[in-house]
Structure 1
Amino acid sequence: MQIEKTTSILSCGWLGLPLGARLIECCCCVKGATRSPEKLPILKGYGIDPYLINLNPEMGGENVEDFLSSEVLIINIPPEMRDDVVAYHYRQVASILQYVQDSPVEKILFVSSTSVYPSLNRAVCEEDASYSVSPIGDALLKVESLLMSEASVKTTCVRFSGLMGYDRKPGKFFAGKKELPRGGEPVNFIHRDDCVEIICRILKEEKWGEIYNASADVHPTKKEFYSEAAKVIGLEPPAFANENQEPFKIIDAEKLKADLNYTFKYSNPMDALHNTNEVELL
């Protein structure tokens, strides 16, 4: 895959670092931001030009203008868990846009989440997003709207479902717990390797001005998934009180698969649980 663009990633953590390393393999020049000084040499070791950038909530740090001297900016900053999350996250991204307006950036890819969807007891597509689902969801929707309405750039938003892979072991979440509810609820997950490849495919295919859901094809029940996830890492499986059908949602990623001609590396998250050869980069 050839993607000969200069790309800036804000920020280079659990997802951003392997994404940057993959983009370099695709002939990209990559600039990566972190707020942790100790991570600067790690980024440099992977061939990423490192920058110390913060958002508190205004954007600041060392050489912000040079960091944004790129064709593409990937914004990968999840909303922080705080009482004013909607206003705070909006101020963070609005501050980024102020710098972008005076930069060479032409395109933005925003990493969003399927937390923007209510539980409608059916498959949900991109048009089903709604406010008042959760404060995090509201923050993401407000920022998506801000970015998509910015005339100086073209923006694509990718709404990832639950992230798994490498050091994110879902089996730890409920291991050993008893009388858990909602055992029959379908789960929505995506492996990090798929996240990285989907973003690369969007850049390669120049799919801008779009909103995409990104979630594995298969949706096992909560009981099936978390029981197996605990067993795989040697922990006591959780016990569920019942498997009654509670309000649920199934993330529909058909638009993404069709537009990008994409086949998931891990179409069933149950299979991803058994991948024991993953080596974390950080």
Structure 2
Amino acid sequence: MKSEKPRVAIQGIRASFHEEAAFRFFGEDIITVECNSFKQTFDVLKAGKADYVVMAIENSIAGSILPNYSLMLSYSFPVVGEVYLPIQLHLMALPGVKFEQIKTVTSHPIAIRQCGDFLDEYPDLRVVESSDTAACAKRIRDEKLTDTVAIANTLAAKLYDLEILERRIESNKKNFTRFLILTTHENAKVNNPDKASLCFQVSNEVGALAKVLNIFAEQGINMSKIQSMPVLGKPSEYNFYVDVEWEDNKKYDQSIKQILKYTHNFNIMGEYRRHEEEGISLRERPKTDSNKKKYIEVKKLSTLK
């Protein structure tokens, strides 16, 4: 019998930032499906071994994760939500380990770069890069390493029984990563969407892209992001990935009808509810109960076959 809990595929292991993002969107009553790569998360969704994928798409410091746009286009799974997660990094070790015992710091290379100011204060520490922040914490626990610390989140410290020696060691305290929630087409119904991720190409001539962008402006549609990537094997041709937000659904529909005249290979990659922002800080998603209600509605839709 299939579990009523949503099975959520993530890149990395439990207590990674991907699982933290999954908890924020679905609540903690989920089954986490650990995957070694972003491609594997799509493969397990395609094979029916997961119901959803949570995938990082951009970071406020490091920028867009470009290969993930190509994955989205290749697999064509719809986007049904997004989460902005504050990236808070802590230094953690086995309980009882003192700072003066530390010889090695290990973490994901991006996390290491984000903690450069802190690490510069301790030039004698050996820095070792790894594939996953949570995996570094797990290794310290499993191998009982008393001379090594990991840079990871509070979930990792809790799950792997580590003690936080230094909190918030990231250089930029306003660091966020945006995660997308993807699922199968059967589960893709979202009520009252107000944001969409689009992909299209335009002709290689003066003003072609401007025509599309002006249509959004004329209809009062906010374009929150635009990302271009070369089309593989076609010099001078680009895919444009655009995120748009709206208040009036009729104006959004009208803008889509108009831009179809000026684009080709047009694809709506997903229509969903945007994660609300409030200044620089971000509002919390609705509490777990409302997320459960949304999930139950989606489950009902998937069983009506």
- Structure of greater Rg: 2
For CA contacts below 8 A with separation 6 or more, give which structure has more relative contact order: 2
Structure with greater proportional strand content: 2
TM-score by length of 2: 0.24
